[in-house]
Amino acid sequence: MELKVFNIEGKEVGTVNLNDAIFGIEPNAHAMYLDVKAILANKRQGTHKTKQRNEVSGSTKKIKRQKGTGGARAGSIKSPTIVGGGRVFGPVPRDYNMKINKKVKLLARKSALSTKAKENAIVILQSIDFEQPKTKQIIELKKNLQIFDKKMLLVLNEFKNNVYLSTRNLTCSKVVTASQLNTYDILDAKVLAIEEGALAVLEQHLLKD
């Protein structure tokens, strides 16, 4: 697949051929589902906790007599049926981490990139870097590329601090390096703006034997 290459002013400066082994495969929806599910699960802290009846502070004295009250038996103020008592089967700390095979992850990322390529949602940038971090520069870039109203994922060949700082305040834009690219970020964005130098990094990471 051949795409035009643009500079930060939005002017065409050449063309580039995308590798069909990455951007031209038949997307595997199930692989993408598994990878996104694992990514979101691994972000969970799992620190949720409520107190069981044996953890609630309170007297263990029997609160009323067994019979003759006309109501159900009640043996402790810690009972879950009483306000302030423990919770039945409440959440406890747990590990939500999921593990999937490396080949499935690779297939998922290539499927996500191929999906964006089929949707014509990929823009190739010649190179991008800023002398100073300014949010206005990213806004101007999106206007020049005619994607101002779309959520953008900017993929760099290497980490550039000024570009990252310029994007940090924008909820509709995100910066990642090609080596950190994951399936969820790809699918979550409406447009991928990929630095031309990042294509070689993607090939290096996604075309493993």
pLDDT tens figures, 53-72: 989 998 888 888 889 989 88
38 and 53 together in one domain? no
Rounded-to-integer distance, Cα 206 and Cα 156, Å: 16
Q: How confident is the model at residue 134 (pLDDT cuts 50, 70, 90)?
A: very high
Tokens of 80: 């879950």
55 and 90 together in one domain? yes
- Asked if residue 1 has pLDDT above 90, the reply is no
Mean pLDDT computed over every residue of the chain: 92
Would you say the C-alpha torsion 157, 161, 167, 168 has a positive or negative sign?
positive
180 and 142 together in one domain? yes
> For 176-183, what is the mean pLDDT?
94
Query: In a 10 Å sphere around its CB, with 0-12 CB exposed, 13-18 middle and 19+ buried, how is residue 26 labelled?
Result: exposed
Q: How many domains does the chain have?
A: 2
* pLDDT at residue number 74: 86
Q: Which domain holds residue 52?
A: 46-95
- CB-side exposure of 24: number of CA atoms within 13 Å? 8
88 and 173 together in one domain? no
Q: What is the DSSP letter of 187?
A: H
Q: How confident is the model at residue 143 (pLDDT cuts 50, 70, 90)?
A: very high
* pLDDT at residue number 12: 86
- Asked if residue 105 has pLDDT above 90, the reply is yes
* pLDDT at residue number 27: 95
Rounded-to-integer distance, Cα 50 and Cα 88, Å: 9
146 φψ region: left (φ > 0), alpha (ψ -120 to 50), beta (else): left
Helical H segments across 5-124, by residue range: 20-23, 29-42, 102-118
Last residue of a domain, one of 65, 95, 125: 95
Query: In a 10 Å sphere around its CB, with 0-12 CB exposed, 13-18 middle and 19+ buried, how is residue 37 labelled?
Result: middle
200 and 174 together in one domain? yes
152 and 79 together in one domain? no
* pLDDT at residue number 209: 57
What percentage of the chain reaches a pLDDT higher than 90? 70
